[in-house]
Structure 1
Amino acid sequence: MTEQPTLRDLTGARPFAQRHIGPDAVEQQTMLRALGYPDLDALMSAAVPKGIRLGETLGLRRAMSEAEASAVLRDLAARNDPGVAMIGLGYSPTITPAVIRRNVLEDPRWYTAYTPYQPEISQGRLEALLNFQTMIGDLAGLPTANASLLDEATAAAEAMTLARRAVRGNAAKPFVVDGGCLPQTLAVVRTRAEAMGIEIVEADLSAGLPEGDLCGALIAYPRADGGVGDPSDLIAAVHDRGAIAVVVADPLALCLLEAPGAMGADVVVGSSQRFGVPMFYGGPHAGFMAVRSGLERHLPGRLVGVSVDAEGRPAYRLALQTREQHIRRDRATSNICTAQVLLAVAAAMYAVYHGPEGLRAIATQVHRSAAVLAAGLRTGGVEVLADTFFDTVVAHVPGGADAVVAAARREGIHLRRVDADHVGVSTSEVTTPAHLETVWRAFGLDDLDLDAVDASTPDALPHGLLRTEPMLQHPVFGTHHSETEMLRYLKRLGDRDFALDRGMIPLGSCTMKLNATTEMEPISWPGFAELHPFVPAEDAIGMLTLIEQLEGWLAEVTGYAATSVQPNAGSQGELAGLLAIRGYHRSRGEASRDVCLIPSSAHGTNAASAVMAGMRVVVVAASDDGEVDLDDLRTKCAEHAEDLAAIMVTYPSTHGVYEHGITELCDVVHEAGGQVYVDGANLNALLGHAKPGEFGGDVSHLNLHKTFCIPHGGGGPGVGPVGVAEHLVPFLPSHPLAPLSRHREGVGTISAAPYGSAGILPISWAYVAMMGAEGLTEATSVAVLSANYVARRLADAYPILYAGDHDLVAHECILDLRDLTKRTGITVEDVAKRLIDYGFHAPTMSFPVAGTLMVEPTESEPLVELDRFCDAMLAIRAEIDAVAAGDVSAEDSPLRGAPHTMAALAGPWDRAYDRDRGAFPSGSHVDKYWPAVARIDQAYGDRNLVCACPPPDAFADA
């Protein structure tokens, strides 16, 4: 007789882990049998070196159901009090048009896409990013803008390093920073400058440029105190001394104010947050940088350009410095390898939806609110510091700031306490007349007639700085102003892309797994989305509780003493970890320790980050099997016994293998006085089975946008928390405006907001909460199982470049095509493009080894999709064999003709193979994905750089 299940057995009988993990128990057994293992434990015991395996389960609470996790998150959101934020300081409430919120920020077509390294299947988001670049370039008055940076503060820091390298002979000269910049911007620039040995001169530039040499100057326009002055003379003075003029600007203000480029600025940086992107308690938001002609090749980050495809049509692609870090390593201009694509798309679509006249109307309303606010204060006898301003008013209330701020807070409005005698008030798109009256009451002004004040108040913009040149003249900004038109435009662009909602994205080292809807939903809730990062701690209790819990969970699963979520990308986590090591050595009187050992197989960002942390890079060789050469490591440690700071090592290795020598590596470096940085890029192969903080690591960054399910968003947002051992805890990132005093002391400020991209942390919180210890452990096991299953199925067709014990790989495998290329001329690019015809995104091409494909199936893909991918790869091998046998030339092969577009299929056909074979190689005509363009000419795009929206007739002519 079958035992009756209890109510507790039945409640939550289908845990979330079974939703997240693709292969069910039956499919797992099928895969295990193919590999010769009885169960997952046996597989992991064979794959993971015994010396690093955990002897106990992770110390996490039981897994929550989806309903339970949502309920807890709703309670946390309800414990926040966003109120009406009139704090300013670079963060403003905004209205996200519902059509953009629902069809971009909340649409998996946009948020589950990968970075557009395969441009043929990324034309939709590339066009959206080109819109962003065009928007920023127009507002800044400069010809070239990038496809976004991480935030305003780090964009300013990137501009500082650009100024050093752009003009010969300027590298050793100081960088002048306007004291009128936002405090978080000043803090990030100071941190970066100190690490890189750049001298900073801070001055009130409203009083003029200080004497002496300089490589560049950062000029606030408007200033943090709201004041707007003419920067033209200052820019001219910077140029007179042979330096670069950088202006940090508010793009909404630039809808009314003269463009900095028109006044001679070389570089303009800022944040596009107030273009329809929620405050998200500080992020994620798309920073930007625009440059004058001649500086394009110094731009950090990504740049979208226009090229042509094989059929002569204009086509978008990433241009110039894409993935520069993997090529130039320690000579890279920046360690930035990501962007804020999803948020840049939202900001660009905000401009498309409103158009130039709509943006001017919003900017005018914002300014008018500030002007009337200031006039009312003056009428009531309150001194206002600036006569000309855009949206921020600073009032002088001797000894009364606390009382004013408290009075406003009681009525649901957050103001900025500048100091005991001054209060800052910033208006925004959501400011209403009622808000102004509430603020006046907080200042003790109860009898003002708003209509009368409004009628008698002139604008407060400097008349000589009013914008006269047109902006956003491209037709895209004048076409989609009804919701019907906007909805269809977003749908059209989304259909041009390939994302996880269509099929598998088997990218090695990138972990494109399920981003569950239950994880994603909370980020739009007002309690999280509408929270200003500088509200008092008591008004952000829910968010701070979530952050503290998540940081604790991340410390537990990695074996570290503490973590910080401030770094808002993996690159920033690398920098934070290295700065922690640097700070530790300096605290011990060992500032001479500045050598960072980096294996030759490491991620390119490692070397770039080491340079940014003020370290010298020394490369450690890899052995023939891809592991770190321990003999070479010992030699390098002996050579640098007096100046060794750290080693950066990825585990499992960049080659997708669990190295046995990892504990010995850690011991060798520690004996030489160095610290061990374990890059957390491949944590998806360790979680629940090993902890880097226990097998020898002193510090790691984690990629929440990989292992912990924050979606890639087409190339951003990301979060790169840093975890450290006990002795490094005092050197975690700090922030001058952190709501909790314990977070104001540390190694320095890494990102603009105290907790980085806090708005997307509920995603990872939900993932860990719903998976629990057993779910996280099983996810790792199935990721390893899937990678080995794929490797076993494909090994006869494509040699597996590296493998560990028992011929097993970790969570990814490298397929070696070099011999096939040598014999047939068919390249990894040909295979990548042919996979599009089969309905797949390609694996990672030529990293970490040129001429190879790195495959990471993740734990989320079901067996049917794994087999579909393997079948496609085997069919492609048969097509390569046909070339090898001389049955067809490489040029006449469908591999070289791929990907096949609908236009090619419908038009004249003079290819050596039939249409069905070209366009329908899998035999299925159902749910066919059609790329928008044929293969793109990459070299043409770099020779003919176009990085703004081309005119529509360019497409008509094609």
Structure 2
Amino acid sequence: MSNAKSLEELEQKQDFIRRHIGPSPAQVSDMLSALEVSSVQELIDQTVPASIRLEQPLTVGQSRTEVETLSYLKSVASKNKVFKSYIGQGYHPTNVPHVILRNVLENPGWYTAYTPYQPEIAQGRLESLLNFQTMTLDLTGLDLASASLLDESTAAAEAMGLAKRVSKAKKANAFFIADDVHTQTIDVVTTRAEQFGFEIIVGKAEDAVNHDIFGALFQYPTTSGEVVDITDLIAGVQSKKAIACVAADIMSLLLLKAPGKLGADVVLGSAQRFGVPMGYGGPHAAFFATRDAYKRSLPGRIIGVSKDRLGNDALRMAMQTREQHIRRDKANSNICTAQVLLANMAAFYAVYHGPQGLKTIAQRIHRFADILASGLKAKGIALKHSTWFDTLTVVSDSKDDVIARAIAKGVNFATNHEGEYSISVSETTTRADITELFDIILGEGHGLSVDAIAADVEANGSESIPASLVRDDEVLTHPNFNSYHSETDILRYIKRLESKDLSLNHSMISLGSCTMKLNATAEMIPITWPEFANLHPFCPLDQAEGYQIMINELHDWLVNITGYDAVSLQPNSGAQGEYAGLIAIRKYHESRGDAHRNVCLIPSSAHGTNPASAQMASMKIVVVNCDKNGNVDMSDLKAKAEEVSENLSCIMITYPSTHGVYEETIREICDIIHEHGGQVYMDGANMNAQVGVTSPGFIGSDVSHLNLHKTFCIPHGGGGPGVGPIGVKSHLAPFMPNHSVINVPGTNIGNGAVSAAPYGSAAILPISWAYITMMGSEGLKQATEMAIVNANYLTHELSKHFPILYRGRNNRVAHECIVDLRPLKELSGITEMDVAKRLQDYGFHSPTMSFPVAGTLMIEPTESESKGEIDRFIEAMVSIKGEIEKVISGEWSIENNPLVFAPHTQGDVLGNEWDRAYDRFYAAFPVPAVAKNKFWPTVTRIDDVYGDRNLVCSCPAVETYRD
């Protein structure tokens, strides 16, 4: 009986593994048979070099059931103490509208979508991002906005980079930061400046004009709450041919004059308080706006309005030639992941409340600050400033006693400066809260009545916002912000946009290198628990015990999985992880007296973020060639390593390679770099082909970033969030990011931060924690093995119809393959773009197109897709091959065939006129399987050139909307 019970318990624990991994045992058997191997292990032996295979299994523990996992994690979360937060400093409690919480944040239709590189099947999130940009432009008063950046502090660092690029003060090498900017922002910007070799000057805002600078950063309102007219400060900076940047509070901009109207060149900030939880620091979308003249230097992605083939308005990512995948080391930034899901939440928050609703929220926040200030002043309490929006800074001789009373009542204030504490009220603040604040600050029996003070404030008016800074222009006038204020209306609007987008809840997204795998529902549930969602990142550590337990467990598991000695969870995207890893390498060399080591070797096949990140770390990039098989050219590597030996800092290499093979020489590559005094940075983009089978630390690498939004199941969110922690060997551990507000154990004091919060996007770390917990050591290895099985089966079947560009040992691939379309293109004139668009008619998102080789498709099925779904994709590709052959034979002309007209919308297929060489029904339903689950693109092929030549990056004019 006990054995039967044990077997039953084991089967229950393995239930999640079976649900995560797509193919059934019978399907696995069929695929292995097609590959002519007798077992999964035989395929692994044929594929992965024996010299790098782990000798010992992972030790992250046995898999746990979903119930066990969530029950344990709930007990961990309960150790967090969710105090009322008045800390502010860029993070505020917010009321997430439940209709947005349930239908966006918790909805796989929104969180499993990919970056909108295929815009015809991404019109929903593109419209929402256009709303975000329009909201940003209206509130900042500037000309051009991005579709979100990672957080306020990194956005400020990007503003510094833009300032240096566009400033006409070419000889200046200093950037000024006002000392009343948020502490974490000063930290992150200083770190970035150190890498660029810029001087940072921190001082009183009015002193900016006394320095030779290329740019300056001001906070509006200041971190201590003061509302200052910075018009003259901005003008003074500009008189020196420098760029004036302003970090603004988004909620305050409903009441305060737009910084753009004050003359600012760049305005940035966090959109967190527009309906996104604090989440112990993230993820949150940053907004960023600048002048039209600087559009080519704008960091991040821009959504623009273009036209489709039929002349309809259609949205797309504009000016993509600025991006790091194309510009590489000449890119404006290394941004690969933005914060699309959170930007969409903020945009829907603005749509739901509308301009009047938002203004009412802002007025209520400000009125509570006025009431609190009036009561305190009536009792003789000294305030540091006479102006404010939501934050009061109290000057006090009894600070310690007040803070003790606050903690006793479960309340947090900001306590950064001696003899001062700050209180930031928010949209969650109530009248009862104000009474409680009086009790804490004044003690019991103070005799103040909130109602009486409120009436007095109402009667006498408020002067806490200077009259010259009161906003007097209308904002958010577009119909999208004035049409969906009932729950019924907003629900239908959200659903209408969702229906325009293809996500993982519809079909496989086989993007090579992007690892679009299952984001299991059980993994997603904890992120909205109040114990995780409602903590301020700067709360005392004893209030975040649950977070620390979860983070430490995740840290230890990632150490075991990677073969490294330490992990930093601070980087909040893969590209930020690259940047943090390169900083660690640079600081390590400096600690040894080797500051001159600044050369980074990068194979020609590398991700565009690699050279972009290297230039951000001020490294000189030397490209290493690849051979005809797609591997690093060892003779070229040896020659270049020898040539730059004295100055060699590192190599950045992806493993398995970007070409989808396990390079046999990877250990030799590591040895060569180490022999010449360099470090090995292994890009973690393809870790899904390593976990449990090999590891970067075991192979010989010194540092890697891990894409938790790929290998470890954090969803892509339509283009973000991402998380990119770094793992390092012990000699690099002291040089990982620290934080100026909350010290991160294990790193050197004084190490700069790379993200605004000490643990980056902490709120979504439970996703990866839950994935590892429920998979366990056995399941993690099985996932890697099945990713290899699926990829090799897909490759085997497609190779009957298309040339496969690269293969590794025994003619196998790793977790992805590259289909070469160039021979067909040469014969037919049909391009890889035509194939990508035609796949949309079959209900599929295109694989990665023209990367790393132009004219190809890089395909990664992951372990989560069943053989049935893979076969459906193969059927689509084979059918498209047949269509191309009809063009080659002359049955269809190059001008008139379903590929060049793809994708086909309902309006296109059902239109009155049809002069095509193929049938309407065939256009929409090329194979029977499509009819079972038809996804209709909502626009036809988009004209990219038109969109860039006629750049429109806000919601179309009202007249267009009405039409």
Question: What range describes the TM-score normalised by the shorter chain of this pair?
Answer: over 0.9
Determine the structure 1 residue equivalent to 2:777: 773
2:256 is the alignment partner of 1:222? no
8 Å CA contact 1:116–1:317 kept in 2: the answer is yes
2:884 to 869, 880, 884: 880
Distance 2:333 2:869 in 1: 37
2:201 is the alignment partner of 1:195? no
Q: 1:767 Cα shift?
A: 0.1
Q: 1:377 Cα shift?
A: 1.7
1:824 to 824, 828, 846: 828
Counterpart residue type for residue 115 of structure 1: T
Q: 1:449 Cα shift?
A: 2.0
Distance 1:801 1:952 in 2: 49
Determine the structure 2 residue equivalent to 1:626: 630
2:598 is the alignment partner of 1:590? no
Distance 1:361 1:884 in 2: 64
SS at match of 1:647: strand
2:432 is the alignment partner of 1:434? yes
2:109 is the alignment partner of 1:109? yes
Stretch of structure 1 that moved more, 44-53 or 450-459: 450-459
Determine the structure 2 residue equivalent to 1:917: 922
Counterpart residue type for residue 361 of structure 1: T
Stretch of structure 1 that moved more, 168-177 or 625-634: 168-177
Distance 1:286 1:121 in 2: 23
Distance 1:552 1:611 in 2: 31
Counterpart residue type for residue 918 of structure 2: Y
8 Å CA contact 1:506–1:843 kept in 2: the answer is yes
Equivalent residues in 2 for 1:341-352 (5 A)? 341-352=340-351
Determine the structure 2 residue equivalent to 1:670: 674
Change in 2 beyond 3 A, CA 1:444/1:233: same
Change in 2 beyond 3 A, CA 1:741/1:917: closer
Q: 1:371 Cα shift?
A: 1.4
Distance 1:323 1:536 in 2: 41
8 Å CA contact 2:603–2:653 kept in 1: the answer is yes
Equivalent residues in 2 for 1:160-559 (5 A)? 160-170=160-170, 172-205=172-205, 207-321=206-320, 324-398=323-397, 400-446=398-444, 447=446, 448-457=448-457, 458-459=461-462, 460-559=464-563
Determine the structure 2 residue equivalent to 1:565: 569
Stretch of structure 1 that moved more, 408-417 or 137-146: 408-417
Determine the structure 2 residue equivalent to 1:72: 72
8 Å CA contact 2:734–2:747 kept in 1: the answer is no
Distance 2:484 2:957 in 1: 16
Q: 1:796 Cα shift?
A: 2.3
Distance 2:660 2:884 in 1: 26
Determine the structure 2 residue equivalent to 1:52: 52
Change in 2 beyond 3 A, CA 1:929/1:741: closer
Determine the structure 2 residue equivalent to 1:931: 937
CA deviations 1:685-720 (Å, max 9, x no partner) are 010000101111000000000000000000000000
Determine the structure 1 residue equivalent to 2:728: 724
Distance 1:433 1:188 in 2: 37
Q: 1:953 Cα shift?
A: 3.6
Q: 1:454 Cα shift?
A: 2.3
Counterpart residue type for residue 484 of structure 2: H
2:762 to 758, 762, 769: 758
Stretch of structure 1 that moved more, 434-443 or 502-511: 434-443
Counterpart residue type for residue 909 of structure 1: W
Q: 1:954 Cα shift?
A: 2.4
Determine the structure 2 residue equivalent to 1:861: 865
8 Å CA contact 2:172–2:212 kept in 1: the answer is no
Determine the structure 1 residue equivalent to 2:664: 660
8 Å CA contact 1:225–1:392 kept in 2: the answer is yes
Distance 1:171 1:322 in 2: 28
Determine the structure 1 residue equivalent to 2:42: 42
Distance 1:391 1:418 in 2: 17
TM-score (normalised: structure 2) = 0.98
CA deviations 1:469-512 (Å, max 9, x no partner) are 11000011000000000000000000000000000100001000
Q: 1:747 Cα shift?
A: 3.2
8 Å CA contact 1:172–1:198 kept in 2: the answer is no
TM-score (normalised: structure 1) = 0.98
Determine the structure 2 residue equivalent to 1:894: 898
Q: 1:381 Cα shift?
A: 1.8
Change in 2 beyond 3 A, CA 1:743/1:426: farther
Counterpart residue type for residue 51 of structure 2: G
Determine the structure 2 residue equivalent to 1:126: 126
Distance 1:234 1:838 in 2: 57
Q: 1:26 Cα shift?
A: 1.0
CA deviations 1:80-134 (Å, max 9, x no partner) are 1122111101000000000000000000000000000000000000000000000
Counterpart residue type for residue 26 of structure 2: V
Determine the structure 2 residue equivalent to 1:735: 739
Distance 1:894 1:849 in 2: 25
8 Å CA contact 2:296–2:322 kept in 1: the answer is no
8 Å CA contact 1:737–1:744 kept in 2: the answer is no
Determine the structure 2 residue equivalent to 1:695: 699
SS at match of 1:694: helix
8 Å CA contact 1:323–1:337 kept in 2: the answer is no
Counterpart residue type for residue 417 of structure 2: D
Q: 1:11 Cα shift?
A: 2.3
Q: 1:739 Cα shift?
A: 5.7
8 Å CA contact 1:176–1:202 kept in 2: the answer is yes
Equivalent pairs, count:
953
Stretch of structure 1 that moved more, 34-43 or 702-711: 34-43
8 Å CA contact 1:685–1:784 kept in 2: the answer is yes
Q: 1:168 Cα shift?
A: 4.2
Counterpart residue type for residue 301 of structure 1: G
Distance 2:947 2:352 in 1: 29
Counterpart residue type for residue 431 of structure 2: P
Q: 1:928 Cα shift?
A: 1.1
Stretch of structure 1 that moved more, 735-744 or 247-256: 735-744
CA deviations 1:400-456 (Å, max 9, x no partner) are 323212211211211111234111110000011221222222223431222222233
SS at match of 1:918: helix
Determine the structure 2 residue equivalent to 1:802: 806
Q: 1:927 Cα shift?
A: 2.5
Q: 1:4 Cα shift?
A: 9.1
Equivalent residues in 2 for 1:786-797 (5 A)? 786-797=790-801
Q: 1:293 Cα shift?
A: 2.0
Distance 2:38 2:608 in 1: 39
Counterpart residue type for residue 424 of structure 2: S
Q: 1:382 Cα shift?
A: 1.5
Unaligned stretches of 5+ residues in structure 1: none
Distance 1:65 1:688 in 2: 20
8 Å CA contact 1:738–1:744 kept in 2: the answer is no
Identity %: 54
Determine the structure 2 residue equivalent to 1:94: 94
Distance 1:590 1:925 in 2: 63
CA deviations 1:901-927 (Å, max 9, x no partner) are 000111121111111111110134333
Stretch of structure 1 that moved more, 703-712 or 382-391: 382-391
8 Å CA contact 1:536–1:739 kept in 2: the answer is no
Change in 2 beyond 3 A, CA 1:847/1:277: same
2:145 is the alignment partner of 1:139? no
8 Å CA contact 2:306–2:313 kept in 1: the answer is yes
1:903 to 889, 900, 907: 907
Stretch of structure 1 that moved more, 614-623 or 506-515: 614-623
Distance 1:224 1:453 in 2: 26
8 Å CA contact 1:646–1:674 kept in 2: the answer is yes
Distance 2:731 2:833 in 1: 46
